[in-house]
Structure 1
Amino acid sequence: MAEKTIMLVCSAGMSTSLLVSKMQKAAEADGVDAEIFATAASDATAKLAEKKPDILMLGPQVRYMLSDFQKRASDIPVEVINMQDYGMMNGEKVLREAQAAMAKAEK
């Protein structure tokens, strides 16, 4: 089992799949043991219960769901992925943001 689990949520779970693969490559390059996966907003509640992620990151297109997810996942950080990083599919930067948010939550 991975040391950290990062869950990405978007409208349909499709657009984030490329970002997931870029984040996984960045994690492997840095020796970070993380399970990173994407899911559609409609499946997110089930995946929260099933996978118990350490962080939930919302795609910019579902940022309007932030407060709802903060209530549902009150014990983990919930962040909105920077729109520019998302658009550029900057997996390394999104991974860094996830790591920073998890580290801050652990304090």
Structure 2
Amino acid sequence: MNIMLACCAGMSTSLVVGKMEEEAKAQGKDYKIWAVEQGQIESELGNFDVLLLGPQVRHIQRKVTKLVGDKAPVAVIDAAAYGRCDGAAVLKQAEDLVSGE
């Protein structure tokens, strides 16, 4: 699975990406997980199976969902999980979105 995170500058989400990668590896899952700055979303279309937005850019969710269309689910990362850098919780959120739960 390809999981992309997006925020204002791609820096704060990179911390979450690291924790998600650790968790995926611990679960034996070979996922590609990366973070980008919100302006790069359009250039990444087709490269991800799910797009998670940092809570600080939740205001762009409607616009981004329209841009991505039916190519992938788009959601805002749970603020508590994001704040705790809870890689397991954010990974589960991504998996649930892809599986339609």
TM-score of the aligned structures, taking structure 2 as reference length: 0.95
Query: For each residue in 1:2-45, what CA deviation from the matched residue of structure 2 results, as whole angstroms up to 9, or x when unmatched?
Result: xx100000000000111001000000001112100000001121
Mapping for residues 63-74 of structure 1, pairs under 5 Å: 63-74=58-69
CA RMSD of aligned residues (A): 1.1
Q: Which of 66, 89, 96 is the matching residue for 1:93?
A: 89
**Alpha-carbon distance in structure 2 between the residues aligned to 1:48 and 1:87:** 27
**TM-score, normalization by structure 1:** 0.89
Match of 1:55 among 44, 50, 63: 50
**In the TM superposition, what is the alpha-carbon distance from 1:48 to its structure 2 partner?**
2.2
Q: Secondary structure at the match of 1:53?
A: coil
Partner of 1:32: 29
Aligned match of 2:40 in 40, 43, 52?
A: 43
Structure 2 residues without counterparts, runs of 5 or longer? none
Unaligned runs of 5+ in 1: none
Aligned residues: 100
